[in-house]
Each structure stands twice: as structure tokens, then as C-alpha cells.
Amino acid sequence: MKTIKYRIRYSKTGAARFTSHLDVLRALTRTLRRAGLPVAFSAGFNPKPQLSFGPPLPLGVESSAEYFDLELNVPLTEAEVMFALKQHLPPGLEVIALHQLDPKAPSLMADAISIYYQFTLERKNPVPDRQVEEEFAALWASPELIITKKTKQGEKKVNIRPLWKSYDLSFTVDGGIDFQIEVAFGPQGTIRPDDFGSFLVAAFRIEKIRRTEIRFKGGERRQKVL
């Protein structure tokens, strides 16, 4: 049967940030059933709803850029699907945007090239803004940033610097710091925000981490649609 694909962008905030990827998947499956959407199922002994997800979000991180692709058996308008989802999503999950997708569009995982994370920080010591700026500039200038990864074979040292693509720093009126980074995503690897955080904890308290954007190969044009 020919199915119709939709790409949905949603947010995950509040206590929902402590819900794991698999648990969100189950919650979304149930949302679709409650919403009465004509979801396409896989064939076989254990039919599964045809859903595919973007880059998994680490536990405890909020997001305003979560994505999933959904296949329906019946063509519904974008507004109809959007409305159905809005009505039935559990607290903490909210649809931000939705659009119909070219059936030949690459999967979210194949399409994503970079991810933005925003760290809400507080200074551990009362240092002036200028010094904070310098510290981040120095971090950006480091030739390598080594983290220790636990693997089955034991611990492994990895340089994450090549995967860090850009940053943006701003100060809030109450003295807080918003620090945003862009990290690569793809076969070359990615940076987990908690790994990156290990370079911040000496000088800052991390109040919150939020995924704010995902960039896709399709570039700005598809971004605009969303």
C-alpha cells in the first residue's frame, strides 16, 4: 500500500526530559492510537507502527528540536495531523511543526548533519563577562579536547575537538550565561552534550542543557518548511 510520510518536529521539556528514548517512542505510539490516526504498520508477525526517529536525545537534556517521521495509510492534511497530535500528546511533549514529506526523502538519521545544544550556565566564581568570553575563546582555540569513553574493551581516549563546529555566547540580564554549541552528527561521530559539559564544570554550574536545532543536508530550504 502507498503510504504518506510526514515529518514532525516536537519539543521535550520539563519532567519529560527524564524519559528515555524508548519510553518516548512508546508514548508516541500510544498518542497516535489515541489520536485515531491511520498509522501504517510493518508487515510480519509483530507489526510495528512505521515511525522513525532522529538523533537520540541524551537523558536529562531538554529539546525544542526533536523529530520523527510518520507514515499514514490515508492522506490527511498537515493541519489535521497537527491538530490530532496536539490534542493527544502527553504533558512535556509538544508539536512545534509538521509537514508532509517527499516519499523518497532521506531518513532523519541520514539527513542530519549537525546538532545545536544550549547550556544555561552560572558562574561558580564572580568573574567578569570579558573573562568568560576569553575562557570560551581559549576552549575553542584548543587543538584537542580529550574525553574518556567507556567501551566494552575498557576506557578509550577520544579527541572531540574536530566534531565541534561553532559556538555562540550571550549573557542574560541577571548574569546568567547562554552558551550554544554546534556539533557534527553523522558517520564521523558526534559529541554528547554531557561529554562537552565536562570541560565547563570547573568554572560553571550547568543549570540546564537544551537541544535547540538540528541541521539537515537538505539545508535551509527544508528548514524553512518546518
Provide the minimum distance between the beta carbon of 110 and other proteins in the complex, in angstroms, as a whole number.
27
Instruction: Say whether residue 186 binds other proteins (CB under 8 A).
Output: no
Gap between the Cα atoms of 115 and 68, Å rounded: 15
Provide the minimum distance between the beta carbon of 85 and other proteins in the complex, in angstroms, as a whole number.
12
Cell numbers linked to 110 = 541520514
User: Contact 104/82 with Cβ under 8 angstroms?
Assistant: no
Instruction: Say whether residue 56 binds other proteins (CB under 8 A).
Output: no
- Among 33, 124, 205, 217, the residue binding other proteins under the rule CB under 8 A is 33
- Among 3, 13, 29, 64, the residue binding other proteins under the rule CB under 8 A is 29
Instruction: Say whether residue 188 binds other proteins (CB under 8 A).
Output: no
Q: Measured in Å, how far apart are the chain's first and last C-alpha atoms?
A: 27
Specify the amino acid at residue 206.
I
Provide the minimum distance between the beta carbon of 69 and other proteins in the complex, in angstroms, as a whole number.
19
Residue-wise burial string across 156-194, b where 16 or more C-beta atoms lie within 10 A, e elsewhere: eebebeebbbebebeeeeeeebbbbbbbbbeeeebbbbe
Q: List % helix, strand, coil for the chain (3-state, nearest 5).
A: 25, 40, 35
Interface region with other proteins, contact rule CB under 8 A, candidates 39-47, 77-85, 127-135, 146-154: 39-47
Provide the minimum distance between the beta carbon of 200 and other proteins in the complex, in angstroms, as a whole number.
24
Instruction: Say whether residue 27 binds other proteins (CB under 8 A).
Output: yes
Closer residue to other proteins in complex, CB, 26/217? 26
Gap between the Cα atoms of 87 and 30, Å rounded: 13
Cell numbers linked to 27 = 508514548
Gap between the Cα atoms of 124 and 204, Å rounded: 5
Q: Which of 74, 91, 87 is nearest to 1 (CA)?
A: 74
Instruction: Say whether residue 50 binds other proteins (CB under 8 A).
Output: no
Instruction: Say whether residue 30 binds other proteins (CB under 8 A).
Output: yes
Instruction: Say whether residue 59 binds other proteins (CB under 8 A).
Output: no
- Among 26, 86, 156, 205, the residue binding other proteins under the rule CB under 8 A is 26
- Among 6, 7, 8, 31, the residue binding other proteins under the rule CB under 8 A is 31
Residues lying near other proteins in the complex (CB under 8 A): 16, 19-20, 22-23, 26-27, 29-34, 36, 41, 45-47, 49, 88, 90
